[in-house]
Amino acid sequence: MLQYIQSFDTKACLSLAGQSRPISLATLARRISATADGWLYLMLVPLALLLKPQAARQIVYTSLIAFTVERLCYLVLKNTIRRQRPQQALAGFTARIKPSDRFSLPSGHTSAAFLFVTLLCTLLTPLFLPLYLWSAMVGGSRVVLGVHYPTDTLMGALLGTSVALSVI
């Protein structure tokens, strides 16, 4: 089963992040990926104050716990599984950006994006539901940029969503 998953990941990664992809796609992916670098998550505080001022303190507190738990789980998983990134595992493959750490599984950008959107949708308002599309685009951008396999981003999405739901 693991061999099948690795085979799928390798084929999908080479197809999605192949060096023949247009530079404009890589540029778009780089911009989408950058939106999940962390600064956007600070918007949770003013959104909580604006949309639910009476519960803002509890929302911020819950969110801080959720992000702490998510980052701890992410670090433990990443450093326990130690899956090589595509650039290290695939001969002749070059990522379009320099990854922020050494290992691939799970995708931290994707995990944090799904955590953030799940918190917004459950704690503030379901009107943020379209932001799940943004979260999925973050995951896809990481594959297009060649720093993750598709299952890395899938596991990141599962991690972020499940931590958010379990903390709430």
Identify the active-site residue in 96, 109, 119, 123.
109
Angle at the Cα of 112 from the Cα atoms of 11 and 124, rounded to 5 degrees: 130
Identify the active-site residue in 148, 163, 164, 167.
148
CB 128 within 8 A of CB 68: no
Q: Longest Cα pair distance anywhere in the chain, in angstroms? A: 55
Q: Phi then psi for 155, rounded to 5 degrees? A: -65, -35
CB 107 within 8 A of CB 135: no
61 is catalytic: no
109 is catalytic: yes
Q: Which residues are catalytic?
A: 109, 148
